[in-house]
Amino acid sequence: MAKYTIQRILAMLLTMFIILTVGFMVIRLMPGGIFDDAVDMTHEQRAALEAKYNLDKPIIVQYGLFLKGLILEGDWGTSLKMNINVPVWDIIKTKIPVTLYINFFSLLISLPLGIGLGIVAAIRKNSITDYLISFLVVIFISVPSFIFATLLQYFVAFKGGLFPIIFDATSTGWARFHGLALPIIALSLGPIARVTRYLRAELAETINSDFMLLAKTKGLTERQATLNHGIRNSLLPLMNIIVPMFTSIMGGSLVIETIFSIPGMGGIMVKSVNAPDYTVTLAVLIFYSLVSLITVLIVDLSYGIVDPRVRMGGKK
């Protein structure tokens, strides 16, 4: 297991290096410069600023200096447009908690509801309940999360007055959760549908398998066989969609945070791209990449714990 864990960590670090390299190059090679819109700035002033922030050096040299500061000193860079001369980490560290808050509760809601609906749909296959759940699954998968966010904001918040239209950043405790309830619901609908569809297909196939028939011939009722064997065997492949589901939630929150005026990573990402502020954009990219890769690592390690064949494969 130790060798398997080391292999997974090394693969994660290599992937992070590739993402960081490609992201840095793409962001720095985008058309337009940071100081192009500064019409009142003289050529000498612009040259001095570019020299100060190493923008006058070749892009490979810029990348080397950035890696050196990030790895050896923990320096994420300095904001050049949004908050001039303010360290990037000081900007994003206040935005991370609210983004993780939204995504954590979305995932926390999605998994149990999706698993429950998937089990019900599989057990009652080809019934009215199954058809209704399948219809909702198609709707939730087909419609983007930001459409649901807009509809919830208009009908539930604006017309119904049940929730605030925009998020109050000064709220705490229950008021904070109440203000973020609609974004969390909007982000949860798609993942709930994906878990439901996947588990329904897996469990429906498992119920008709040979080992389930064997369990019934040994004296187990259909309910006992389904609970003790069917659901357990169907949940293991569910790990395959947890990572894409979590990353899709993270991606959806970029837009939904803007819709509800949530001061999270999504809003700062949009602002940094429009500014443009290279260092902030790259820092947000690093954050989302790290979260996604750590999630992949956790799932890979959990596979190694649950399924011994994965660990044995890693030893070859």
Return phi, psi of residue 224, to 5°: -65, -40
Give mean pLDDT, residues 55-84.
Answer: 84
Is residue 150 pLDDT above 80, yes or no? Answer: yes
Tokens representing 270 are: 């949009």
Q: Looking at the chain, how many residues does it have?
A: 316
For 183-212, letters b (16+ CB in 10 Å) and e give bbbbbbbbbbbbbbbbbbebbbebbeeeeb
- The answer to whether the bond into 58 is cis (omega within 30° of 0) is no
Give mean pLDDT, residues 205-220.
Answer: 73
Q: How many CB atoms lie within 10 A of CB 52?
A: 12
d(CA 298, CA 246): 12
Of 25-34, 154-163, 206-215, give the lowest mean pLDDT range. Answer: 206-215
Is residue 313 pLDDT above 70, yes or no? Answer: no
Q: Which of 237, 181, 159 is closest to 204 using CA atoms? A: 237
Q: Which of 283, 278, 251, 254 is closest to 267 using CA atoms? A: 254
Residue 244 pLDDT: 67
The CATH code belonging to domain 96-263 is 1.10.3720.10
Q: How confident is the model at residue 92 (pLDDT cuts 50, 70, 90)?
A: confident
Residue 73 pLDDT: 82
- pTM for the structure as a whole: 0.77
Is residue 91 pLDDT above 80, yes or no? Answer: yes
Q: Which residues contact 164 (CB under 8 A, 6 or more apart)?
A: 157, 178, 179
Domain boundaries, the chain: 2-90, 96-263
Query: Which one has a higher pLDDT value, 17 or 52?
Result: 17
Longest dimension (CA), the chain: 87
CA angle 146, 149, 155 (to 5 degrees): 140
**SS3 call for 78:** strand
Of 77-91, 152-166, 173-187, 218-232, give the lowest mean pLDDT range. Answer: 218-232
The crossing angle, in degrees rounded to 10, of helices 265-274 and 239-259 is: 60
- Hunting for tokens 């290096």 — which residue is that? 17
Query: Which one has a higher pLDDT value, 57 or 181?
Result: 181
Is residue 243 pLDDT above 70, yes or no? Answer: no
Q: How confident is the model at residue 135 (pLDDT cuts 50, 70, 90)?
A: very high
